[in-house]
Amino acid sequence: MQIHRLTPAQARARQAAGAVLIDVREEHERAGGQAEGALGIARATLEANPAAHLPDRAGDVVLICQSGGRSLAAAQALVAAGYLQVASVEGGTTRWAEDGLPLVKPVLDAERADFLERYSRHLRLPEVGEAGQQRLRAARVLVVGAGGLGSPAAFYLAAAGVGTLRIVDDDHVELSNLQRQILHTQARIGQPKVASAERALGALNPQVRVEAIAERVTTGNARRLLQGVDVVIDGADNFATRYVLNDACVELGKPLIYGAVLQFQGQVSVFDAGRRRGQAPCYRCLFPAPPPPELAPNCADAGVLGVLPGVIGLLQATEAIKLLLGIGQSLAGRLLNFDALAMHFHQMRLDPDPSCPVCAPASG
């Protein structure tokens, strides 16, 4: 049976004559506006059980989507299910609006409307969708350091809708931080960095819960700070903290997203040995012991290009989101190096050290 393809004006006339007009887009798409009088039933829901929504197989049904493709496919599915009068709107809601036909916004509670609009671009991604966005909403991430790396990482995780960010830093905002630590402002110089971070992230996304902890990570508190989190972002600026974090993450089975910057160079990796002993390396597999100070000066002594932590911090946030959603291929087992002067990325393979005292299978 042939599917009738209607212009929006023809569909509007059929609707006025008693046809059931159904918008088969997803809820987040309809939130921006849908054809007046249309029922909102997502295509998958309609096709899964059409009789629940359209008990009369002989009734006049008109389907509309964004541009016409999905509504036509849904119409074909209805015909295959035995419906006799099914049409699709060519050009969909886009053309409906262009032709000046009335659109209405569905009535939603404030929280739901905020969710659908705020994360609309994520919701359109098949790899994320509503289920993935709700997964981000339920996630908890520990960000160690609210400085150069922690600032962009936390900022984009909050923007992405990660539900809880536990930010740990015992430092205060200084004027020299503002060149690269984007969470802070001149007005907040002298304030604890975690308080400044909480204020900035709350202004960006009030739906995100920020746990501001003004402490330095030590062997005495690391396990407490890691309790209940799904992913750990290492934005520390010293080797001692990195080793403490690594060891606790291996012990508690938490993936650790490592980042480091100096002058014009940066690197990123994911250390997931706690969940994948013998298969993925830990930080100690890369650096069994701290290098001598002359080979590893800090940024305060050697300097750092202000935008460089932004690049590396965003890569850390990207890895965190992928891990939380279970999509893509993480950097576990790879070290990604970035040269800002050459604008060049280079990666090297990282294998687990079978004699690592922390993550080797025999050590667990």
Per-residue pLDDT of 89-98, as tens digits, reads 999 999 999 9
pLDDT at residue 298 greater than cutoff 80: no
CATH number of 139-363: 3.40.50.720
The whole-number pLDDT of residue 307 equals 97
Just give the CATH number of 4-107.
Answer: 3.40.250.10
Instruction: Give kind and range of the element (H or E) at residue 257.
Output: strand 256-262
- DSSP 8-state class, residue 253: T
pTM: 0.88
Dist. CA 260–CA 245, nearest whole Å: 14
- Mean confidence (pLDDT) of the chain: 95
| Residue 297, pLDDT above cutoff 80 | no
* % of the chain at pLDDT higher than 70: 98
- State the pLDDT confidence band at 14, using cuts at 50, 70 and 90: very high
List pLDDT tens digits, range 18-65. Answer: 999 999 999 999 998 999 999 999 999 999 999 999 999 999 999 999
Find the mean pLDDT for residues 295-320. Answer: 90
SS (H, E, C) 4-57: EEECHHHHHHHHHCCCEEEECCCHHHHCCCEECCCEECCHHHHHHCHHHHCCCC
Exposed/middle/buried for 166, CB within 10 Å: 0-12, 13-18, 19+? Answer: buried
Which residue carries 């887009």 as its tokens?
25
- Which of these ranges, 110-114, 221-225, 327-331, 343-347, has the smallest mean pLDDT? 110-114
CA 156-335-216 angle, to 5 degrees, is 55
Residue pLDDT, tens place only, 234-288: 999 899 999 999 999 999 999 999 999 999 999 999 999 999 998 999 999 999 9
Provide the CA 48 distance to its chain's centre, in angstroms.
29
Domain with CATH 3.40.50.720 in the chain: 139-363
92-119 core/surface letters (b: 16 or more CB in 10 A; e: else): bbebbbeeeeeeeebeeeeeeeebbeeb
Longest dimension (CA), the chain: 83
Percentage of the residues of the chain whose pLDDT score is greater than 90: 92
3-state secondary structure 141-158: EEEECCCCCHHHHHHHHH
> How much is the pLDDT for 363?
67
Name the amino acid, one letter, at 289: A
Render pLDDT for 215-224 as a digit per residue (tens, 0 to 9).
999 999 999 9
pLDDT at 295: 66
What residue ranges of the chain are covered by domains with CATH 3.40.250.10? Answer: 4-107
Q: Are 235 and 217 within 8 A, CB to CB?
A: no
Read off the DSSP letter of residue 172. Answer: B
62-87 tens-digit pLDDT: 999 999 999 999 999 999 999 999 99
